[in-house]
Structure 1
Amino acid sequence: MEISRLPLNALRAFEASARLGSFTKAGLELRVSQTAVSHQVKALEALLGISLFERLPRGVALTDEGQTLLPVLSDAFRRLSATLSRFEDGNFKEVLTVGTVSTFANGWLIRRLDDFAERHPGVDLRLKTNNNRADLMEDGLDYFIRFGDGAWHGTNAVHLMAAPFSPVCAPQIADRLARPADLLNETLLRSYRVNEWNQWFLAAGVPLPPVRGWMFDSSIAMAGAAAQGAGVGLVPVSMFESELESGQIARPFPQDVTLGSYWLTWLKSRQETPLMHVFRNWLQRNLEENGETSD
């Protein structure tokens, strides 16, 4: 079937109904009545000669054909919306969408974004944060800054900086810690990444029994809990310089251990654009100017 024959409003009605699971909710989103949405979907089904929904007593459910069509339409509308948003006040803006782990965003990137904006005022930089897991294609990311070993399937990875981990805690807890073995008497806050404490204690030369304590999916949340006296956290200390300088948290021991690095990643199937190169060059230049490794 020729695309030109497909009615745009009916496609929008189907996509919204399928995504929201309801003609009523789709109508609210599209600012039309539930009846209008239902008629548009029925017209699309008639045109295609297939059923896209099973009508249920409460709501609707996608048929196999509907499930096949939905992701294609959702991606098309998302891309269209993203492109149209680049046209504002008669000007065309270059959009760059960067995902990053929240620890790197808060500890390094955000305070330097003014410099990027001053150097590249025509770029609309959009930042998305998460906890190290993202789908670059599904989330519409040009780049994704993540923590790890640099080996992720289907992605290119450029090393940005090492991130040694060291214990941090509330100052009153640090006052009673004289040597690394004293940590065995404290609550040790854990990451979802296993064996991090084991590796630090191994580097410090202290045998470690099984660790049982709160588990966090974010170093920011872990450092916040440590500042409140909930226990001792193991975090990438270079990302928490301001908290250490202000005394919110303390670093009781100088020993650290490298558990991974921050990397700039993008899909191998995606060719870097000139705008992506601009951001990568800016990022690496800032790292070099601040004495951080980017090789």
Structure 2
Amino acid sequence: MSLPPLATLRAFEAAARHQSFKNAASELGVTPTAISHQVRLLEDTLGVRLFDRKPRQVVLTDVGQELYPVLRDGFAAFAKAVDRVRNRPVSRSMTVSVIPSFAAKWLLPRLSRFQAEYPDINLRLHTSPEAVDLDRGVADAAIRYGVGPYPGLVAHTMFREQFVPLCSPALGLKKPEDLRNATLLHFDWLRPDDATPTWQRWGQVAGVADHLPSAGISFSDDSHAIQAAIAGQGVVLASPVMARAEIDAGLLVMPFGPEIKGHCYHYVHTGRGDNLREVEAFGAWIESEVSASVPVTDQSSD
């Protein structure tokens, strides 16, 4: 486009609207001399006279009257477009790193409630069995399973995990001793420790360690172990919180106890960043979901 300088057009539009260089100067925050200079520059650029200058006012010439409404409407359109952009809701986003099993069994079924409560937050889930370094920007926050503490991070304990035998009701198990004739389903934990829910540990707590079969089926994904239990292929030592949907649907039952404790789930973040407000909002939502879905006795970190 071959257009005169924008400042000259703006000065002309204001002067034409006010029919005064002085009032135009007051609106634009410049001197009347500056307005006169810009109008003169525009007239020289166009090769026409736009105002008849009189002692106490300026009057548009015929050419000025032709140009003015076009510029008036153009600047009005500019103002409306700028206001729409300025007042548009800012897109808020955050990334949460979650272990795959927790994402699939606990978080994903609840995310529609988060979106309903915070429709302006764009949430991205990063699923990985490994803990990511939040200082490197891979994620803004994380849900981690472990003993803690997490140096340098703000950490909120969500709930302590519990594990109990779960199986298909078709197996007809009634008491721990019935496990001697059952197939035990195992999960290969990434970093086993004293709180890892193994059948050996459960058997010692239940007092039936000598009655447990040595053979079984092992899985690298605990969700696959749960699916095998639903199919009646054996008994899995799993979390009733994570398997709540399957228990409520009657696909799995807890034939007997006891429950054994695992580690806690923690919501962690750096406590800083441009989207800290979003990170804290997600943490508050997580806390409300835990309060509504996890038994009070399971929420303790003790």
TM range (shorter): 0.5 to 0.7
| Equivalence for 2:127 | 129
What 5-or-longer segments of structure 2 have no aligned partner?
A: 1-87
What aligned pairs does 1:83-232 form with structure 2 within 5 A after superposition?
92-131=90-129, 133-137=130-134, 140-151=138-149, 155-173=153-171, 175=172, 177-193=173-189, 194=192, 196-208=198-210, 211-232=214-235
Following superposition, the deviation at residue 211 of structure 1 comes to 4.3
What aligned pairs does 1:226-265 form with structure 2 within 5 A after superposition?
226-265=229-268
| Equivalence for 1:278 | 281
Following superposition, the deviation at residue 258 of structure 1 comes to 0.8
Following superposition, the deviation at residue 280 of structure 1 comes to 0.8
1:189/1:215 contact within 8 Å kept: yes
Aligned length in residues: 204
Which amino acid is 2:169 matched to? P
Please tell me the root mean square deviation across aligned C-alpha atoms, in Å: 3.0
Q: Residue 270 and residue 207 in structure 1: after superposition, are their counterparts in 2 closer, same or farther (change >3 A)?
A: farther
- What is the rounded CA distance, in whole Å, between the counterparts of 1:97 and 1:266 in structure 2? 11
1:150/1:159 contact within 8 Å kept: no
Task: Mark the structure with the bigger radius of gyration.
Answer: 2
Q: Residue 139 and residue 188 in structure 1: after superposition, are their counterparts in 2 closer, same or farther (change >3 A)?
A: farther
TM-score by length of 1: 0.60
Following superposition, the deviation at residue 110 of structure 1 comes to 2.0
| Per-residue Cα deviation, 1:150-189 (whole angstroms, up to 9, x for no partner) | 345765432101221011122222x1x2321221322211
Following superposition, the deviation at residue 217 of structure 1 comes to 3.1
Q: Percent identity?
A: 28
Following superposition, the deviation at residue 279 of structure 1 comes to 1.0
Which amino acid is 2:178 matched to? D
| Per-residue Cα deviation, 1:237-283 (whole angstroms, up to 9, x for no partner) | 11111111222222211321111222112358979812211111121
2:98/2:128 contact within 8 Å kept: yes
- What is the rounded CA distance, in whole Å, between the counterparts of 2:114 and 2:185 in structure 1? 35
What 5-or-longer segments of structure 1 have no aligned partner?
A: 1-89
Following superposition, the deviation at residue 286 of structure 1 comes to 2.5
- What is the rounded CA distance, in whole Å, between the counterparts of 1:114 and 1:160 in structure 2? 20
TM-score by length of 2: 0.59
